[in-house]
């Protein structure tokens, strides 16, 4: 499958759309100079193109398998992961005290974007480790940090996240796994967890599970859950993997896609664990990992969309079929207006989703470096949008890629369908996109909409600044932001279930407006003339108007959703 890491697009977004340079101007990230950023992106792009991308198809056709209780990875994955770990790619944003580079998280997210486009099944391994590193840095005690962080950052060990149980999916408060104090600083953890990506590996010498479980005196619901580090092998006195812990992989899930990534059913039978954070406060610690993962998953969607787009574009440039009346055509299907519509939509959506996610990452870095509460609030607001919209775009673009291929898209040998099968789960895990939308209209509006209004004011100010260069497009963006402002004001005054009923279209409308804003900034950076300006015009004229219908939908409330009874729906 053809793949070329979008280094140029990412650099452009950092330089001209989301302002990564502001992060490098802080004392905390002073080493993130322009030269360093360029070098990191360029070398990561080479790794993705030359090492990871060739494994994309192989991971699908030769899946991970469970053999005598041990996961055997797809051929080539171990060697590729060796280059990922040896290059220090897992520790880009990790604490230098433990072997990390200490660079901005936005840079780490950009690398994850490219790795996802190259080979999502393999990228999942370091993604989960990155989230665990973040959780341990924020919540673990010094002893756990000193033992685990260097191993995780180096890639010698990998990390997982164990939340879901057969009876407890999105309702984490229903977790039934138990933990009993052993009296020596350790706990005996018992229970079963499902959907554990990379729950075992044959190229990491230890797999470190962060497990949610309930102490005997833990209250019902999420307030009674604690978090434990439960390694596959218990470290010995030298910090090396020692005796096997009382845990095992029961089976691997048979999945729609991502066959190269082993998704495990894990059984813990009195396994030895160490508490991370405070008793009964496990959700706070786990949410650090989950929030990191939500932004990363949004960029997984973007990365896969990029891969699917490039695959479809290459086919459209070579497939000869039919004739068109355009002058100076190529003689291939890219001459057809509908194929151009699909490819241009794919490209416009990818740019918008990538810009939203990287803007969120920059806000996180600025909040961390400066303590600016407004930047932290901005990042919190953008996170559910970045996750939901990014993964929706991944699904939409990969499905559209199948359509560009036509009949061959339905044939597995073309490889087009793999992108859709692989990316489809991203709209489900780390909180379904419906849950992301509910978070946006509920928790993220607890400030009375202040963070949202600040962001919309920024959109309108930027549109005003561009009005002299592109008056019509700027006006459309300004008006769309004003419409979204009014809809947000109305939303805040409604009952919660009415908000939830319109949450998904509201989030999509917000993403449409933000996408137009970033496209307009891109057009301004090239003076209103050029390919980015043409793409911005396509997005603003053809995609942005959808926000009007979406906001009408969002304002309808919940009553109509219950007009049909369960019996009516079954009739």
- Positions marked catalytic: 430
Q: 50, 55, 132: which is closest to 87 by C-alpha?
A: 50
Q: Is 483 exposed, middle or buried (0-12, 13-18, 19+ CB in 10 A)?
A: middle
CA distance linking residue 63 with residue 517, whole number of Å? 41
Q: 210, 101, 85: which is closest to 157 by C-alpha?
A: 85
Q: Is 468 exposed, middle or buried (0-12, 13-18, 19+ CB in 10 A)?
A: exposed
214 three-class SS? strand
Q: 75, 69, 233, 266: which is closest to 151 by C-alpha?
A: 233
CA distance linking residue 259 with residue 65, whole number of Å? 9
Collect all residues with Cβ–Cβ distance below 8 Å to 515 and sequence separation of at least 6.
348, 349, 351, 352, 353, 355, 356, 539, 543, 544
**At CA 45, angle to CA 40 and CA 47, rounded to 5?**
100
Q: For residues 349 and 393, is the Cβ–Cβ distance under 8 A?
A: yes
CA distance linking residue 309 with residue 404, whole number of Å? 10
Q: For residues 20 and 65, is the Cβ–Cβ distance under 8 A?
A: no
CB atoms within 10 A of CB 57: 15
Collect all residues with Cβ–Cβ distance below 8 Å to 488 and sequence separation of at least 6.
445, 449, 452, 453, 456
Q: For residues 313 and 345, is the Cβ–Cβ distance under 8 A?
A: no
Q: Give kind and range of the element (H or E) at residue 251.
A: strand 247-252
CA distance linking residue 382 with residue 457, whole number of Å? 15
Q: 520, 551, 478, 117: which is closest to 348 by C-alpha?
A: 520
**Four-residue CA torsion sign, 522, 525, 527, 532:** negative
**At CA 127, angle to CA 122 and CA 131, rounded to 5?**
160
- Partners of 248 in the beta sheet? 267
């Amino acid at each position: 499958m053809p793949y070329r890491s979008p280094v140029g697009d990412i650099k452009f977004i950092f330089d001209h759309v989301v302002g990564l340079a502001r992060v490098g101007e802080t004392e905390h990230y002073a080493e993130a100079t322009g030269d360093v950023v360029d070098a990191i992106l360029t070398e990561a792009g080479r790794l993705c193109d030359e090492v990871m991308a060739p494994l994309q198809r192989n991971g699908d056709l030769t899946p991970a398998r469970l053999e005598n209780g041990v996961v055997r990875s797809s051929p080539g994955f171990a060697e590729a992961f060796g280059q990922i770990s040896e290059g220090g790619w897992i520790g880009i944003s990790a604490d230098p005290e433990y072997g990390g580079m200490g660079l901005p998280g936005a840079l780490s997210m950009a690398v994850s974007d490219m790795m996802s486009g190259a080979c999502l099944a393999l990228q999942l391994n370091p993604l989960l480790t990155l989230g665990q590193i973040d959780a341990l840095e924020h919540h673990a005690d010094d002893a756990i940090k000193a033992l685990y962080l260097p191993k995780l950052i180096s890639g010698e060990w990998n990390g997982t996240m164990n939340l879901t149980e057969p009876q407890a999916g999105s309702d984490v408060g229903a977790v039934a796994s138990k933990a009993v104090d052993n009296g020596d600083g350790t706990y005996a953890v018992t229970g079963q967890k499902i959907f554990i990506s990379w729950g075992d590996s044959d190229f990491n010498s230890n797999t470190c599970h962060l497990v949610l479980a309930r102490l005997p005196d833990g209250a019902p619901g999420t307030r009674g859950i604690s978090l434990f580090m439960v390694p596959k092998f218990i470290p010995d006195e030298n910090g090396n993997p020692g005796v096997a812990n009382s845990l095992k992989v029961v089976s691997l899930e048979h999945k729609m896609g991502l066959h190269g990534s082993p998704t495990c059913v894990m059984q813990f039978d009195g396994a030895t664990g160490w508490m991370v954070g405070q008793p009964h406060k496990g959700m706070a610690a786990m949410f650090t990992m989950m929030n990191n993962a939500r932004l990363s998953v949004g960029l997984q969607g973007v990365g896969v969309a990029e891969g699917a787009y490039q695959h479809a574009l290459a086919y459209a440039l070579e497939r000869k079929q039919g004739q068109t009346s355009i002058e100076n055509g190529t003689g291939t299907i890219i001459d057809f207006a509908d194929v151009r519509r699909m490819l241009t939509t794919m490209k416009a959506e990818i740019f918008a989703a990538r810009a939203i996610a990287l803007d969120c990452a920059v806000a996180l870095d600025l909040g961390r470096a400066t303590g600016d509460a407004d930047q932290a609030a901005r990042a919190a607001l953008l996170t559910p949008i970045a996750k939901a919209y990014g993964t929706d775009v991944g699904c939409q673009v990969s499905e559209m890629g199948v359509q560009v291929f036509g009949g061959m898209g339905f044939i597995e040998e073309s490889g087009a369908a793999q992108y859709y099968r692989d990316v489809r789960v991203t709209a489900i895990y780390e909180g379904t996109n419906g849950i992301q939308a509910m978070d946006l209209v509920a928790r993220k509006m607890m400030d009375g909409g202040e963070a949202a209004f600040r962001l919309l004011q920024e959109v309108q100010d930027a549109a005003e600044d561009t009005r002299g260069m592109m008056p019509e497009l700027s006006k459309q963006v300004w008006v769309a932001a004003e419409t979204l402002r009014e809809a947000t004001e109305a939303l805040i005054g409604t009952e919660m279930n009415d908000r939830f009923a319109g949450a998904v279209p509201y989030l999509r409308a917000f993403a449409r407006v933000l996408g137009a804003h970033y496209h307009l900034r891109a057009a301004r950076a090239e003076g209103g003339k050029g390919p980015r300006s043409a793409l911005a015009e396509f997005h603003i004229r053809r995609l942005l108007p959808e926000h009007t219908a979406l906001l009408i939908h969002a304002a309808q409330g919940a009553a109509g959703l219950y007009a049909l009874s369960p019996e009516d729906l079954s009739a």
